[in-house]
Amino acid sequence: MDTRRRNNVTVSGPVDGPAVVLAHGFGCDQNMWRLVVPALAERYRVVLFDYVGCGGSDAAAWSEERYSSLDGYARDVADVCEALDLRDAVFVGHSVSAMVGVLAAESVPERIGALVMVTSSPCYIDDDGYRGGFSAEDIEELLAALESNYLGWSSAMAPVIMGNPDRPELGRELTNSFCAMDPEIARVFARTTFLSDSREDLKRVTVPTLVLDCTQDAIAPREVGEYVRASIPSSRLVTLDATGHCPQLSAPEAAAEAVLAFLTGLR
């Protein structure tokens, strides 16, 4: 199957510009990046795609076996990079996609030369000396609620994840994005996301890395951003003056400015 069609790949910006790949998180699709793309596409070749089972991808290509681990999503990234013959691309991953990017950069190092990790979390569950933001019981309750009533869970959780209660239109957009996903695919993606533990993977990152977090985030607390920065020697942390888990929607100018500054520094 053609990867471009399978993953609904779209490309904008100068064809000879350095490549920047934008990857969405759980329950979302490439549309979540629409507010930052214009600023990036002035100088960069911007690649957007949907993971199989999300957005405009070919859902017939989805399998629970492949997408029950982050490796399956990393294979999607590698496939997209190979289909476009990208070299030394900058991979910008939102939320769980940041960890997917870590795995992809390790599997196809010639394709990915730098990482931007937006509101990332290598592990959502608290551990000795580590604060992920949730207890194991919290996560199991979250997943049980999702599996018993996905649409109800989406309506309740999406505004919490988005934050910015004074801008309810943002919460509604994320709710609609969640609700558009097939509940069975969402169940698998959610378990893959919230039960993952990528802390050891961070130690193997050798490419330049920008870690972006927000001043307030119900999903990835500030301690997580600092943990990621400390775990990757080649990284630096920038805290955006933004709230919520999706700064590419709630603070697109600040998010784009931070990414562009990092890209300029790579030259």
- Residues taking part in catalysis: 95, 217, 245
Per-position DSSP letters for the chain, written without gaps between them:
--HHHHTT-EEES-TTSPEEEEE--TT--GGGGTTTHHHHHTTSEEEE---TTSTTS-GGG--TTGGGSHHHHHHHHHHHHHHTT--SEEEEEETHHHHHHHHHHHHSTTTEEEEEEES--SBSB-BTTB--SB-HHHHHHHHHHHHH-HHHHHHHHHHHHH--TT-HHHHHHHHHHHHTS-HHHHHHHHHHHHT-B-HHHHTT--S-EEEEEEEE-SSS-HHHHHHHHHH-TTEEEEEEEEESS-HHHHSHHHHHHHHHHHHHHH-
At 23, the amino acid letter reads A
Which DSSP string corresponds to 149-194? -HHHHHHHHHHHHH--TT-HHHHHHHHHHHHTS-HHHHHHHHHHHH
How far apart CA 126 and CA 129 sit, in angstroms, is 8
Place of tokens 């100018």: 253
